[in-house]
Amino acid sequence: MSAHTGYLAFLVHRVSGILLTLFLPVHFFALGSALEGAAAFDTFLAWTERPLVKFAEWGIVLLLAAHLGGGLRVLALEFLPWRDWQKSLAAAAAALALAVGLAFALAL
């Protein structure tokens, strides 16, 4: 199957969605530990300082940005009047994702 732009955009969108769905329960569960008070949360925050965790966080933000970019592309294709520059939407989505990923990387 030829890997043209639209197909790649779909694949990134789908795979990032799957990974996010797997990650989210973990994210929610970790945050829920705040119920046990500030001390437990601090322990958790200390754990998040570890480089591997930071890298994973950055990866997850990138996934989120990629999924958002792909999603905006789908919304544009489905709701906006049809134009010939539809292909460049995939590029725009990718650019957006990258930008967000970089911003987050800088902040970390």
Where on the chain is the footprint of other proteins (CB under 8 A)?
A: 1-2, 4-7, 9-10, 14, 17-18, 20-21, 24-25, 28-29, 31-35, 38-39, 41-42, 44-45, 61, 64-65, 68, 71-75, 77-79, 82, 86-87, 100, 103-104, 107-108
- If you compute the radius of gyration of the chain from its CA atoms, what whole number of angstroms results? 17
In 10 A of CB 108, how many CB atoms? Answer: 11
State in angstroms the smallest separation of the CB of 64 from other proteins.
6
Alpha-carbon torsion 80, 73, 9, 12, what sign?
negative
Nearest-angstrom CA–CA distance, 53 and 60: 10
State in angstroms the smallest separation of the CB of 25 from other proteins.
5
State in angstroms the smallest separation of the CB of 42 from other proteins.
4
